[in-house]
Amino acid sequence: MVNDLNNNEMSCQELVELVTEYFEGTLPPTERERFEAHLGQCSGCTNYLQQMRHTIQVLGKLTEETIAPQTQAELLQIFRNWKKAA
């Protein structure tokens, strides 16, 4: 349940912030574990990851510019709306 996140579990905002490192493979194992645990319970972030994979395939790489801060904010707004609807 997304609403049952405790302090040890990753938030959607954390996940979005770490997605570049996740794809680059530079995420520490413990963080990666939390990242994937969050994905297992959050359809919003799963969709986000799929979009990122598509973006990487199109651009061939993922840069900081690919995920502009305002894009992150928009995505987080979308996540919040999904949770309300859930």
Q: Which residues bind Zn ion (CB under 5 A)?
A: 12, 42, 45
Residue 79 CB, nearest distance to Zn ion (Å)? 6
Residue 45 or 62: the one with the smaller Cβ distance to Zn ion is 45
Closest CA to 10 of 85, 27, 52: 27
Residue 12 or 27 having the CB closest to Zn ion:
12
Q: Which residue from 22, 15, 56, 62 is spatially nearest to 39, judged by alpha carbons? A: 15
| Minimum CB distance to Zn ion smaller for 19 or for 45 | 45
Residue sitting closest to Zn ion (CB): 42
